[in-house]
Every structure is written in structure tokens, then in C-alpha cells.
Amino acid sequence: MNIFGEINCFWVCLRLSDFAPFVALFIVISIALLAASFMVKEPKRRLLIFVSAQVSVILAIIATFYLMECEGMMTIYLYLGYAVISGILMFGITRYYDRFMIRRLNAKPAGSIIGWVQRFVDQLAAATVYYYDSAAPRAFAAGRSIFVSVGLLEMLDDDELRAVLAHEAWHIRNNSRMPYLRQLALMTFSSHKSSELEIMADRFAAEIAGDEALSSARNKLDKVFI
């Protein structure tokens, strides 16, 4: 039976079953939760609602599978495969993404060349600072790590570097407020971004290193990327 045949079979069996209302309830709950996940603004709640929708859909498919008393149905295998892959993306990759970046960039602990850098970040967040060989002035946070390029280290003075590190440390401290997949993005410190998260990170950096240091760092990097 192909997937379209299975879908038709689902419909026929549900119409003939006394348990159809329960399966339909799971489906309605799933659709409602999925819609709510797009409407809720708080990222952590959005993720929990989305996961709940996934679980509800799985329960609906398993219930239908049980009612039909079938084996080897392609539909349930496809959906379970999707659920596993999406689960790995949401909860697995984000935990190891910084390790991947360390290997990819051949990054090394920044404290080995600038002693105060790691001590400074230790006061702000549980994160390790790495540097990597690139002339492009970049800084970004990934997982529990902060990455800065050699080009950035050469361009900024100590106060400006503190502002950049504080900005990225804020992302590390508050990553539970971001969608899990958002954490995979390289939050590069270059031109000013107007997103709420970037504005809040800038405010934190200004409190730690001062408005002048933050503005000076952004002005230097803006000249490179404009």
C-alpha cells in the first residue's frame, strides 16, 4: 500500500471506529498547538508548545495504527523518522555545535595569547573564549563558546574587545530565551542589528564596558563591512 492508500485507509477506518472522536481530538489538539507555537512570542514556551504538538500527532498516528491493526505502514515510519530528526536538531546538535566549530576553525583558547580575556568572560558567563586564524574581524557565540578572529583582536583595543566579549557573553547567558535552532546561527558582531536580542546584548555590553567602548567597536567594524 502506498502512502495515499494508507491515508485513505486511515479515513475509512476512523469513520467505522467508535474511537474516532479520540483520534480526532488528538489531531485537533495538534493543530491548535502548532498554531499556538507560531503565535507565542516567548521562545522557550514556543518550543515547548511545538514539542507538545509533535507528541500529540505521534499519539494520533499510534492510535490510528492500533485501530487499523496493520503492520509496516509507511506513514507512521515516515513521521517517526521526521520526529527523530527534528528532535536531534532541536536538542542534540545545539549541544555540540560549538565543538564542531572548534574543529572546523582549528580554534584555540584565547587565554593562551591574551591572558585577561578568559578571566574577564568567566565573570560574565560559563563560556570558553577561542580565537581562530582569519583576517576578517569577527566575533560570535555558539553553544558555550565565544569565538573571536585574529583580525578582530588586532583591530580592537582592550576596552573595545571587552565590549564585544560582553555582548557575546550575554548571548551565552541568555540562550535559553532563544529558539533552539536560532542558537545554530552565528551571531556575528559586525553591523548593528535591530533585533530585540541584539539590542539587549548591546545594553549589557554597554553596562559592562561602557557606551563609548561599544560604539567605538561597532564603528570600526562597520567600516569594514559597509
Q: Summarize pLDDT for 28-72 with one digit per residue, the tens.
A: 888 888 788 777 766 567 667 877 877 777 777 777 666 665 555
The answer to whether residue 149 scores a pLDDT higher than 70 is: yes
For residue 182, what pLDDT is reported? 46
- Contacts of residue 213, defined as CB under 8 A and 6 or more positions apart, other chains included, come to 159, 160, 162, 163
The answer to whether residue 153 scores a pLDDT higher than 80 is: yes
For residue 213, what pLDDT is reported? 94
For residue 2, what pLDDT is reported? 58
C-beta of residue 129 within 8 angstroms of C-beta of residue 111: yes
Q: Which of 20-24, 128-132, 199-203 is predicted least confidently?
A: 20-24
The answer to whether residue 10 scores a pLDDT higher than 60 is: yes
Summarize pLDDT for 168-210 with one digit per residue, the tens.
999 888 764 544 444 444 445 554 555 677 888 899 999 999 9
How confident is residue 3, by pLDDT bands cut at 50, 70 and 90?
A: low
Summarize pLDDT for 76-102 with one digit per residue, the tens.
666 667 666 666 665 555 566 788 889
Q: From CA 208, how far away is CA 128, in angstroms rounded?
A: 18
Domain with CATH 3.30.2010.10 in the chain: 106-225
For residue 16, what pLDDT is reported? 61
For residue 57, what pLDDT is reported? 75
For residue 186, what pLDDT is reported? 42
Q: Which long-range contacts (CB under 8 A, 24 or more apart) does 193-198 make?
A: 197/171
For residue 120, what pLDDT is reported? 96
C-beta of residue 181 within 8 angstroms of C-beta of residue 121: no
Mean of the per-residue pLDDT values of the chain: 77
Output the CATH code of domain 106-225: 3.30.2010.10
